[in-house]
Amino acid sequence: MKISTVKGTNDYLPKEAALRDYLMDEILKTYQSCGFQRIMTPVIEDIENLDKSEGGENLNLIFKVLKRGDKLEKALEAKNEKELCDMGLRYDLTLPLSRYYANNRDKLLSPFKCIQIDRVYRAERPQKGRLREFYQCDIDIIGTYSLTAEVELIATTAQALKNIGIGDFRVKINNRKLLKAILLKAGFQAEELDSVCISIDKLDKVGLDGVKEELNAKGFEAESINKLSEVLSTKPFTLEEAERLCPEEESVKEIRFILDSVKAFNGEFDVVYDITLIRGQGYYTGTVFEVESTKFRGAIAGGGRYDNLIGKFLNETVPAVGFSIGFERIFGILTDVGFQIPDRKKQIAVLYEEKDFIPAMEYARGLRENHNVAMYVKPKKTGKFIDKLQEQGCDGFYIYGQSGEIQFL
């Protein structure tokens, strides 16, 4: 049997698990301090829900669960691939939340402010920064069209990032409605906009020439591609420039309200308009935002407004907006820089002879008022064992029955 993990998944050593616990705990405490309430949903969802969730390219990354027993045999006999699966693993936490709200809204406040911190799964090609099993840390506000919801999510997420010591960052904002208005001005047709947005979303990876090449390959009009290229090559493309192109667009005012509101209470991070910000999920309907680390480069959080997704379950429009912290990205950053958990209790090992077990237990119990204490029967090769303790993050040891104090490593 294989002892390695499935590709795209990880085992975590005690020291790594301790950091992950610390990060999740700090994020959760911050969210809760701002009035959000935690919920939990199953990792498995109905495959029909997942397939109709407008999750963009993530829909191609769903882990599907085969039917069981007679139902599977019948599907195999029918040679109908679409009938083989009836469930799948969630690829994010937004679709499960939408189903959850539709199922439980009579028991919930409106607007409903919730927390989800849990595992999600995507059938990615495993590589650095892309896992098949990973955690997301989400907050969402459901039931209000007010732009104060976006501002509150940005403020809460920024506070969480500061509390876990991620360093300097910048918040970028765009609006799907404004972006689509600009694309229509460039000459693209309404039914083409989602496909164009998917290409623009790759700008930071393939560059402007790569985006133009992909749009050409999709068969869009050369004139429209050239007009879009002029917009994307304008540095910087400001909100004022967007307003000049689309003076009738209300979404310009929406972005300006969010920018001004965040700047009014914040003096610690930049918040800017970015026309190239897309966010890959197709369910976003208005504001989209992303947090970019200015110290370590790359996105560390993102989200947006999805006013139509819950309506797929209820046949009515329910406004919603959410923000998700990129937990695995942040864990990787802090691990690489050797981040130390602040104010943690020191880890102490008490080594004892078996004949001294009971008094050694009493001694360890006294130490636990100020330390985390583990007990071990004293091994023959004590020196090597102590080296291993140090590797695992132990701060000190005491050999019961010997004179002296705790030996700190």
Give the DSSP letter string of 285-340: -SEEEEEEETTT-SEEEEEEE-TTTTHHHHSS---EEEEEE-HHHHHHHHHHTT--
Smallest Cα–Cα separation from 321: which of 256, 239, 240, 258?
258
Take residue 121 and report the two structure tokens written for it.
Answer: 């799964």
Q: Could you tell me the two tokens for 92?
A: 């994010």
**Contacting residues for 196 by C-beta, under 8 A, at least 6 apart:** 183, 188, 215, 220, 228
Token pair, residue 194, equals 């989602």
Helices H / strands E in the chain, number of each: 15, 15
Neighbours of 100 (CB within 10 A): 22
Is 140 annotated as belonging to a binding site? yes
Distance of CA 277 to the CA centre of its chain: 16
Q: Is 93 annotated as a binding residue?
A: yes
Residue 94 is labelled as binding a ligand = yes
Coil, helix or strand at residue 175: strand
Residue 12 marked in a binding site? no
Nearest alpha carbon to residue 215 among 240, 193, 230: 193
CA distance linking residue 226 with residue 241, whole number of Å: 17
Dist. CA 92–CA 195, nearest whole Å:
21
Q: What are phi and psi for residue 181, nearest 5 degrees?
A: -65, -40
Is residue 289 helix, strand or coil? strand
Q: Which two tokens stand for residue 133?
A: 């099993």
On whether 329 is known to bind a ligand per the annotation, the reply is: no
Residue 158 has, within 13 A of its CA and on its CB side, a CA count of 22
Residue type, 239: L
If 0-12 CB within 10 Å is exposed, 13-18 middle and 19+ buried, where does residue 245 land?
A: middle
Residue 136 in marked binding region = yes
Question: Are 382 and 351 in contact, with CB atoms under 8 Å apart?
Answer: yes
- What are the backbone angles phi and psi of residue 368, rounded to the nearest 5°? -70, -5
Neighbours of 365 (CB within 10 A): 10
Please report, for residues 158, 186, 202, 229, 231, the alpha-carbon distance to residue 224 in angstroms, rounded to integers and kept in the order given: 38, 5, 18, 9, 11
Residue appearing with tokens 């090449």: 213
- 344 carries a ligand binding annotation: no
279 is in an annotated binding site: yes
Binding-site members are 92-94, 122, 136, 140, 279, 283-284
Binding-site members for L-histidine are 92-94, 122, 136, 140, 279, 283-284
